[in-house]
Amino acid sequence: VKKVLFETHHLYYWPNFVPIVEELKNRGGYTVHASMPRRSSDVQQTILSQACSELDVVFVAADSEPDRIEKIIREAYDVVMVGNVGQLKQIVLPDALAVMVYHGIGLKQSYYRDIDDRINIRAVESMERLHELKEQGHTNLVLTGFTKLDKLYTISENEPEQLKQKLNLNRNKKTILYAPSFYPTSIEKLCPQLSVLSADYNIVIKLHGFSWEQKRYRYQSGLCSELAEKHDSIQLLPNETFDILPYYKIADVLISDISSTMFEFLPLNRPIIQAECFSLRLKHRIFRRRFWRKLDVERMQNVDFAYKIVDPADVIGRVQFALEYPDEMESLRQTAHNQYLYKPDGMASARVVDAIEENLK
């Protein structure tokens, strides 16, 4: 029996790992554990440990970070799965297999920078990214697809209906899913517009975990909470709802900014609006080049499958148009799907486990 640890640096990495956990359990011959770095707040840890118990996964916790690392080393895992480099070096033994399933596929440069030679296998979500990483000299790559999306193909037919009832959505209105990033973000600029849109549409807001958990971004969940309290047709998903996938199924249109959600939504082939109206920190307003260095500008410019807005007020007309003509960008979205995501077959996690088993031989 091989021992596998899912080192979940942040709660929002877990949806990428769940399909792999399930694949390992289906195959048998694996003991699966999960852990999370010890932080001053227990909120993320409590939510993750609950999610682990639902999947019958042992959650490894300790009173301090050094104790947690010591515990992990004592367990001597055969495979350590990570979503970023994080604590990797400290927790992976020399003989263990280190596997990276990167946590996001959005528009940030960290995708290319958050990397380490100790990683034996890096799962890659698209042929295009595989070529880019190969050109940069990486040799530990396996083309798998994006594991998080596997679940899209197993969501039962009645689950979207149940979600609509649970959220008390108006059956006669179309539904907007708003899924912004935490930084740079469109939240401040778009919140007033969401108020206006709520008269004619259901709006479901799914925030990034950091908008709840990190002090400098917590004002974002505050803004959206106020909005949801004022308007019956605006539903803010709580931090405990860390998996956005089921909500893609109930959305007629997605609004985002630089988040991975724009790419994750492509399999549904429904309209996407990209808000390029960001609120920047003072240093990035002054030193704009520093800000742009954080982003994958080329990838951002290549996004041709979404309606782009720079003026927040334009979102209202864009939503109306997109919902009236949902097929207008259909072929562009299909092309983008083939470009940014490998094989829409729900088998990405199976390909990850195949690569692990190949390396464990």
Which residue spans of the chain are classified as CATH 3.40.50.2000? 2-152+346-360
- Rounded CA separation 182/216 (Å): 10
Which tokens belong to 231?
Answer: 């308007």
> Does the predicted model carry a pTM greater than 0.85?
yes
User: What is the structure's pLDDT at 278?
Assistant: 84
Give residue-wise pLDDT tens across range 293-317.
788 888 888 899 999 999 999 999 9
Q: Is the pLDDT of residue 106 over 90?
A: no
From the CB of residue 1, how many other CB atoms can be counted at a distance below 10 Å?
Answer: 8
The CATH architecture that domain 2-152+346-360 belongs to is: 3-Layer(aba) Sandwich (3.40)
From the CB of residue 325, how many other CB atoms can be counted at a distance below 10 Å?
Answer: 11
User: What is the structure's pLDDT at 232?
Assistant: 96
Query: How are beta strands 121-124 and 141-143 bridged, if at all?
Result: parallel
User: What is the structure's pLDDT at 309?
Assistant: 96
Kindly report the average pLDDT of the chain as a whole number. Answer: 94
Residue with more model confidence, 172 or 280: 172
Give residue-wise pLDDT tens across range 238-279.
999 999 999 999 999 999 998 999 999 999 999 999 999 987
Give residue-wise pLDDT tens across range 61-92.
999 999 999 999 999 999 999 999 988 999 99
Reported residue count of the chain is: 361
Position 240, amino acid: E
Q: Is the pLDDT of residue 282 over 80?
A: no
User: What is the structure's pLDDT at 320?
Assistant: 98
Which residue spans of the chain are classified as CATH 3.40.50.12580? 157-340
- Rounded CA separation 89/136 (Å): 22
User: What is the structure's pLDDT at 284?
Assistant: 74
Burial 36-69 (b: 16+ CB within 10 A, else e): bbbeeeeebbebbbebbeeeebbbbbeeeeeebb
User: What is the crossing angle of helices 187-197 and 314-324, to 10°?
Assistant: 60
Residue 40 banded pLDDT, cuts 50, 70, 90? confident
Q: Is the pLDDT of residue 285 over 90?
A: no
Residue 357 banded pLDDT, cuts 50, 70, 90? very high
From the CB of residue 175, how many other CB atoms can be counted at a distance below 10 Å?
Answer: 20
Residues of the chain above pLDDT 70, percent: 99
Q: HSE, CB side, 13 Å, CA atoms: give it for residue 4.
A: 24
Give residue-wise pLDDT tens across range 188-214.
999 999 999 999 999 999 999 999 999
Residue 109 banded pLDDT, cuts 50, 70, 90? confident
Residue with more model confidence, 162 or 109: 162
Residue 282 sits at the vertex; the CA angle it makes with 281 and 287, to the nearest 5 degrees, is: 100
At the fourth CATH level, the homologous superfamily of domain 157-340 is CDP-glycerol glycerophosphotransferase, C-terminal domain (3.40.50.12580)
Residue 221 banded pLDDT, cuts 50, 70, 90? very high
